[in-house]
């Protein structure tokens, strides 16, 4: 039991060390010499070692890193960490376009006053969510997929500028979003030290930040010099929010969180353009990397009114700067096959340093782009890191193109030709006339598409194999256990139980889910095949129209065009899919594995009061799930769309309906609650 004066001394040391740390790491204004800080730190360590019950989560001694972790635990974000739209126009017109979009969404005219925006930097690091409860840091998580991230609390504790305890009157729960980054001076110092030790160096500051945060050994993370800037909020409880985004940042700074000084509140498009230009001039002098600036509507009320579109806020945009460029030569041109079968030409380059990294490959996007730019082996090309992330070939320096003889004339290398067959599986490569992307047609068979095909096949609206997620599919494919969806039905306990982190009960549940999926519907089966351009609604239309799978397999384009909502593009996709022998083989293997459904005669044309109508579902209905309502609508020959337009016939709205309901009201559409909807379909 510690004596009272030791407890008081420990508390005083914690406060003093945190104050000195904030002055050093956040304010860049040291208040005591390093030796004096170290002396106070060692005194606190000694007290905590003698009296472990005095150790608190917010103690500065907890920044040195804990025990190595076997893996990162998943963290479900209470408020999703969504990305913001990137404005690809890097000139002033990009800022003007954003202001115009916002004004149109708000219904403002030219005579209405300018909008107020918060403008800040777009940091080049790793997005982090900090959760404070009653002022104490209790958890830190990465963005992940936006819904679920990874628990990196131990590593984030090693970032000295992040307070372990907030100052002032903090709310019960405050989640702070921001960016972990590595400054250029810290990056150079770290690499110089590593070179002296003969150890591995970091490629660039961004990779250094991301790699440090995701180190399973916090002691290694603690040796990496990281910083942090706060730029937004996640979940909050019992906190009176400021009225503006700028006010939020001011409040976070008052809590002791680091907030970048390079921010401003500006008026209208003119203010955005001026900020973009000012930061562009100062970019090279900043001590950290940025890849653009961010504009946000300052009023939180207006932010809420503007809402989101496709999981991106309408009220914010990232405005990038022109990417860096360099000259290099093309050593070869190969093609890559993506997870969806897209064939992408890739230039293999003589290594060149661009935008902070050594680039050896660059995308050529598609066959049309290669021909338009006329990129050939041996060419000298301008390479750009598009969006500061994906390197691309911008253009060819034609005067440096190698020729067959010293005096010029015919080029040494021929023009690029797209391969006729997939380099991975040998299936036919096809490129529809109206599409830019060529694709491998072996969707169910092609190893490059294997993981995506399996995940789609197992999806909730397809075969609904619960428990067959990314990690399991990745292992099944990488270990060569599963090659096509049909192989899932040959899995046994021995194969599944040997997968990483797969307990016996989980393995049994997965096998039961696979077995259960053998009995399905023809519509689910068709959708599960992953035929390009065939969504869930189209799969239902095909099942209703043909009744039997064999009838669909035998259908030509003319027959398919008789199906409701099937046009020439969809019909051609279906014919191409089933014309590929490899896909036919997998379909037959699935039938041989016992996948069955009730087959019957083609369904009669649905005749109902809503047949052919278009519905939009929004909000939470009292008793029906979204899927149940959708099934009811489609069973009566109507369609369900994802967005509201003038072509929408009915909007079915539940609680928390949001922007779709507002747009429906603006357009004067028919809006139904659940009771009215049930009455309509009952009639």
**Beta strand 173-181 with 227-237: parallel, antiparallel or unpaired?**
antiparallel
Rounded Cα–Cα distance for residues 130 and 174 (Å): 8
SS3 157: coil
Rounded Cα–Cα distance for residues 163 and 167 (Å): 9
**How many residues can be counted in the chain?**
683
Residue 308 sits at φ, ψ, to 5 deg, of -125, 155
Q: Which two tokens stand for residue 674?
A: 């659940």
Rounded Cα–Cα distance for residues 343 and 333 (Å): 13
Say if residues 255 and 163 touch (Cβ distance below 8 Å).
Answer: yes
Active site residues: 122
SS3 3: coil
Say if residues 202 and 191 touch (Cβ distance below 8 Å).
Answer: yes
Establish how many alpha carbons lie within 13 A of residue 174's alpha carbon, considering only the half-sphere containing its beta carbon.
Answer: 28
**Beta strand 136-142 with 357-363: parallel, antiparallel or unpaired?**
unpaired
Planar angle of CA 479, 487, 437, nearest 5 degrees: 80
Beta bridge partners of 297: 117
**CA 675 to each of CA 34, 53, 419, 680: distance values in angstroms, whole numbers, following the listed order:** 70, 59, 57, 9
Rounded Cα–Cα distance for residues 429 and 448 (Å): 13
**CA 464 to each of CA 76, 151, 468, 630: distance values in angstroms, whole numbers, following the listed order:** 23, 29, 9, 17
């Amino acid at each position: 039991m510690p004596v009272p004066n030791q407890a008081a001394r420990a508390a005083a040391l914690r406060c003093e060390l945190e104050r000195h740390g904030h002055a050093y790491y956040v304010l860049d204004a040291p208040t005591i010499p390093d030796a004096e800080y170290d002396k106070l730190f060692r005194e606190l360590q000694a007290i905590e070692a003698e009296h472990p019950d005095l150790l608190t989560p917010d103690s500065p001694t907890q920044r040195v890193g804990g025990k190595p972790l076997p893996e990162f635990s998943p963290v479900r974000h209470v408020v999703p960490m969504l990305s913001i739209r990137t404005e690809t126009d890097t000139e002033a017109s990009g800022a003007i376009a954003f202001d115009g979009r916002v004004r149109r969404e708000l219904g403002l005219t030219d005579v209405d006053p300018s909008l107020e925006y918060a403008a800040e930097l777009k940091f080049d690091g790793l997005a982090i969510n900090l959760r404070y409860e009653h002022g104490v840091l209790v958890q830190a998580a990465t963005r992940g997929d936006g819904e679920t991230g990874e628990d990196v609390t131990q590593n984030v504790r090693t970032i000295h500028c992040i307070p372990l305890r907030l100052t002032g009157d903090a709310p019960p729960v405050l989640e702070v979003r921001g960016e972990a980054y590595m400054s250029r001076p810290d990056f150079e110092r770290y690499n110089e030290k590593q070179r002296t030790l003969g150890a591995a160096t970091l490629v660039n500051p961004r990779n250094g930040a991301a790699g440090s945060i995701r180190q399973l050994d916090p002691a290694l993370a603690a040796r990496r010099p990281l910083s942090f800037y706060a730029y937004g909020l996640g979940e909050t409880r019992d906190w009176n929010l400021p009225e503006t985004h700028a006010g939020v940042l001011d409040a976070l700074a008052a809590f002791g969180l680091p907030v970048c000084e390079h921010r401003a509140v500006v008026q209208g498009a003119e203010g955005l353009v001026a900020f973009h230009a000012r930061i562009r001039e100062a970019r090279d002098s900043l001590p950290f990397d940025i890849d653009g600036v961010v504009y946000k509507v300052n009023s939180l009320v207006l932010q809420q009114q503007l809402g989101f579109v496709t999981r991106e806020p309408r009220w914010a945009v990232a405005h990038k700067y022109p990417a860096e460029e360099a000259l290099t030569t093309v050593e070869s041109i190969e093609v890559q096959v993506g997870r969806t079968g897209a064939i992408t030409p890739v230039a293999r380059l003589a290594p060149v340093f661009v935008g902070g990294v050594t680039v050896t490959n660059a995308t050529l996007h598609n066959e049309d782009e290669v021909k338009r730019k006329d990129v050939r082996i041996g060419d000298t090309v301008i390479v750009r890191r598009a969006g500061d992330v994906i390197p691309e070939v911008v253009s060819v320096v034609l005067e440096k193109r190698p020729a067959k003889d010293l005096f010029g004339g015919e080029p040494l290398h021929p023009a690029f030709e797209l391969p006729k067959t997939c380099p991975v599986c040998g299936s036919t490569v096809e490129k529809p006339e109206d599409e830019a992307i060529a694709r491998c047609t072996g969707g169910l068979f092609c190893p490059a598409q294997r993981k995506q095909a399996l995940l789609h096949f197992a999806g909730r609206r397809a075969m609904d194999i619960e428990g067959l997620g990314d990690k399991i599919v990745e292992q099944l494919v990488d270990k060569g256990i599963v090659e096509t969806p049909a192989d899932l039905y040959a899995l046994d306990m021995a194969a599944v139980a040997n997968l990483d982190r797969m307990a016996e009960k989980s393995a049994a549940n997965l096998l039961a889910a696979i077995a259960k999926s053998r009995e399905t519907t023809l519509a689910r089966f068709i959708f599960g095949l992953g035929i390009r351009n065939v969504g869930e609604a189209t799969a239902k239309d095909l099942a209703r129209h043909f009744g039997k799978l064999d009838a669909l397999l035998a259908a030509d384009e003319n027959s398919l065009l008789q199906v409701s909502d099937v046009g020439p593009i969809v019909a051609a996709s279906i014919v191409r899919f089933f014309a590929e022998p490899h896909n036919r083989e997998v379909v037959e293997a699935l039938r041989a594995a016992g996948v069955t459904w009730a087959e019957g005669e083609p369904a009669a044309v649905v005749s109902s009061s809503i047949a052919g109508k278009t519905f939009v579902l929004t909000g939470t209905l009292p008793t029906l799930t979204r899927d149940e309502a959708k099934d009811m609508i489609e069973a009566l020959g109507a369609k369900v769309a994802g967005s509201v337009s003038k072509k929408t016939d009915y909007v079915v709205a539940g609680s928390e309906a949001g922007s779709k309901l507002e747009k429906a009201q603006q357009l004067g559409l028919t809006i139904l609650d659940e009771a009215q909807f049930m009455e309509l379909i009952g009639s």
